[in-house]
Every structure is written in structure tokens, then in C-alpha cells.
Amino acid sequence: MPGLCGRVPLAQKIKLSTIADALGVSTATVSLALRDSSLVADHTRERIKAHARAIGYIYNRRAASLRTSRSGIVGVVVHDIMNPFYAEILRSIESELDRSGQTFILSNHYDQLEKQRGFIDTLLQLGADGAIMSPAIDTPADDIKMAEDNGLPVVLVARMVQDADVPVFRGDDAYGIGLATDHLIGLGHRRIAMIGGTDETSTGRERYRGYVIAMERAGLEVPAAWRLPGPRTKQGGFEIAGSFLALKDKPTAAVCWNDLVAIGLMNGLARAGLTPGRDISVTGYDDLEEAMIAMPALTTVWNGQREVGRLAARALLDRLGGEEVETHQELIRPELHVRQSTAKPVER
């Protein structure tokens, strides 16, 4: 039977003093007891904890953190959690933070600097203990510095910010894309395009660099037209299939920005009547869970996103614990995972 519900009526709040009064001790004792301090006698502590549980006491973190200036909150901001690449990073951050009792607040910045700034501001207002960021395109070092100056330690993941003096954890993109490109060259491909993504991020520049280096090392040409940037999504890969097929000199293989683009591209090629993995070789990047079950299974580069998330969370927790952490980059070394989406070239 449907009813109505509005603002919740706040019953008389139970606080430390409620317990203190009931048990005839001071609030200080209750506070210490609940935090398992050795400053209160065992039986007193147990009595207090039992009573607290019995009457449903709820710890007020706001009040505590106002006093201690530690909030137990960590902010995480990434481009877009709907992107499985970030979702995987987030998941490992989550499990690491959970273990340490920190709560995390999440935001997407969609590469909008203003959105990112708004979020940093929120973190400062809430007195967050720290932040893990995959910074928006063109984030100035000053934005990071401002956060740090206001007491918010920052750790970066996946992307770097020039001149920002904080730890960075990310994959070695140039090397990783090199692996994929070399693999294709090794199979006999000579005309290889690079599909999707943007060259505006540090990641983007690195990936493009890795591709060019590998091509030139093999003495191959790299016409500018073979760099087809685009959204880093399946949709993006799907839609770019047409332009790819229209390229003159007909490349026989595509190094894709990431797995999403690769899967989208493969679907687009299939829609056009081609068989990816036979007619056209395709590589991805990230080795998402779904790379293995794509059709055909995707040759891709494992990018260590789980590792990146874990290390970043650990580094932040270390900083919070007062330890000194090196501010330079830590590069995870990617690995090539060969599957069925790449094969010897076929002239078409």
C-alpha cells in the first residue's frame, strides 16, 4: 500500500555524552574506549562498547574530523568511469582504499578543466585527505600545486602533468604501442595505420611516438593521413571504419588507440563485409576483460591498469601516513598478448 515519505524525522541524536551520562563516565573516556585506546581499562572499554552498540550509537565523522583535521575521504577523478579502462583502475583503487578504511568520492571530468576544478574545490571544502587523479587534458601544473598548497596530497594515474611535482603511475605507452607495431611488422605488414584517440594527452603523444618510432625503425613510411584520430570509444572505432577503408594505399593493419576502438573498428569492418583478423589485422591496447571474448579475440597490449590503481592508492596512503614518496613517474612495463585479430597480410 503506497504511502508518502518526506524528510526523515531525526530522532534524538545519540552522541558520546549520551553514553557517558548513561554509564557515569566522561565523554573523553567513551571516545577513547570506542577507539580501543589502551588508556581505558579493559572492562570499562567493553562496557562502553556494548552499551554503544546496544543503543545504536553512530560515530559522527564530521565532528571528529573538524577536530582532527583528517576526514577519511579520498577523492578520485578520472575522465569517465563508463570507460572500462578507468573502471578497472577504479576497482583496484577501491579495494586498496577499502582495506585502509578510507571512503572515496568519485567524479568524471570528461576532460573539462572546469569540472575538474570544481571537484578539487569540493575536495578541499570537505577536507579530503588526498586525491588520485587522471588529469584532464591541459591541466596546468598550477592546478595541482594549488591543491597541494591547500593541504591536499595528489597522486596521478594514467596521465601525467608537465612540471607537477607529484608521483605518477602509468604504463609505458611508447613502449607498449611499439610492441603492437613491431608485432604487425613482424607478421609482414608494411602499411599500418594508427586509429582513434587524440594526441592532446601525454598518453596520446606517447602512443603516437611509439608507433612512429617502430615504423621508422623498420624503414617504413608514415604518411600523416594514416593517423586517424577519433573518440576513444567503441562508437568511435565503429564510425571510423569507413575512413579507414577509404585511405589511399589501403593499409593492411590498424594499431588502435585502445581495445574499445579496436572492437568498434572490427565490428565496423565486419559490417562492411570484411573479416577482421584475416582481411585486416587489428591490435588493441589495455587488454580489457572483454578483449579475450571479442570476435575475433583481440591481440592487444596489457597495460597494467590494475597495477596502476593499486600502486597509486598505496602511494597516496603512504603519503597520508607521513612517508615520503618519490615524485617521479613509475612506468609499468606493458606486455603484448597475441590473439586472433592479427595475421599475415592479405592483399585486397
Q: Which residues bind DNA (CB under 7 A)?
A: 13, 15-17, 20, 24-29, 31-32, 34-35, 38-41, 44, 57-60, 63-64, 66-69
17 counts as binding a second copy under rule CB under 8 A: no
- Which residue lies nearer to DNA by CB, 67 or 248? 67
99 makes contact, choosing from DNA, a second copy, none, with CB < 5 to 8 Å by partner type, with none
DSSP state of 23: H
The pattern of x and - marking residues 107 through 126 that bind a second copy according to CB under 8 A reads: xx------------xx-xxx
Closer to a second copy by Cβ: residue 83 or 181: 83
State the residue for C-alpha cell 596521465.
159
Residue 111: which of 147, 148, 92, 86 has the closest Cα?
86
> Which of DNA, a second copy, none does 15 bind, CB closer than 5 to 8 A by kind?
DNA
Which of 235, 290, 291 is CA-nearest to residue 268? 235
Amino acid of residue 309: G
Instruction: Give the residue among 187, 345, 226 at the shortest CA–CA distance from 279.
Output: 345
| Smallest gap from residue 43 Cβ to a second copy (A) | 26
Report the residue number, 58 or 246, with the smaller CB distance to a second copy: 58
User: Residue 150 interacts with a second copy (CB under 8 A)?
Assistant: yes
Task: Using alpha carbons, list the distances in angstroms from residue 82 to 85, 89, 130.
Answer: 9, 12, 23
Q: How far apart are CA 64 and CA 345, in angstroms?
A: 65
35 binding partner (options DNA, a second copy, none; Cβ < 5 to 8 Å by kind): DNA
Q: Which is nearer to DNA, 46 or 200 (CB)?
A: 46
**Would you call 10 helix, strand, or coil by DSSP?**
coil
Provide the minimum distance between the beta carbon of 19 and DNA in the complex, in angstroms, as a whole number: 8
Q: Is residue 149 near a second copy by the rule CB under 8 A?
A: yes
Which ranges of 247-304 would DSSP assign to H, the alpha helix? 259-271
Q: How far apart are CA 135 and CA 139, in angstroms?
A: 6
Q: Which does 16 bind (CB under 5 to 8 A by kind): a second copy, DNA, none?
A: DNA
- Least Cβ distance, residue 120 to DNA (angstroms): 17
**DSSP per residue, 196-261:** SB-SSSHHHHHHHHHHHHHHHHTT----GGGEE-B-SSHHHHHHHHHHHHH-TT--SEEEESSHHH
Size of the site for a second copy (CB under 8 A): 73
How near is the Cβ of 41 to a second copy at its closest, in Å?
A: 26
Q: Which does 81 bind (CB under 5 to 8 A by kind): a second copy, DNA, none?
A: a second copy
CA distance 87 to 306: 10
Nearest CB to DNA, comparing residues 37 and 112: 37
Q: Please say which residue, 91 or 209, places its beta carbon nearer to a second copy.
A: 91
Cα-atom radius of gyration of the chain, to the nearest Å? 26
- Which of DNA, a second copy, none does residue 32 bind (CB under 5 to 8 Å by kind)? DNA
Shortest Cβ 12–a second copy spacing (Å): 11
Residues 31-62, buried b or exposed e (16+ Cβ, 10 A)?
Answer: bbbbeeeeebeeeebebbbebbeeeebeeeee
**Choice between 170 and 189, CB closer to a second copy:** 170
196 interacts with a second copy by CB under 8 A: no
Taking CB under 8 A as the criterion, which residues in 58-97 touch a second copy? 58-63, 65-66, 69, 71, 73, 81-82, 84, 87-88, 90-91, 94
273's contact among a second copy, DNA, none, with CB below 5 to 8 A by partner kind, is none
Residue 26 touches which of a second copy, DNA, none (CB < 5 to 8 A by kind)?
DNA
5: cell is 515519505
Place of cell 605507452: 173
Three-state DSSP at 105 gives strand
- With respect to a second copy, which residue has the nearer C-beta, 105 or 213? 105
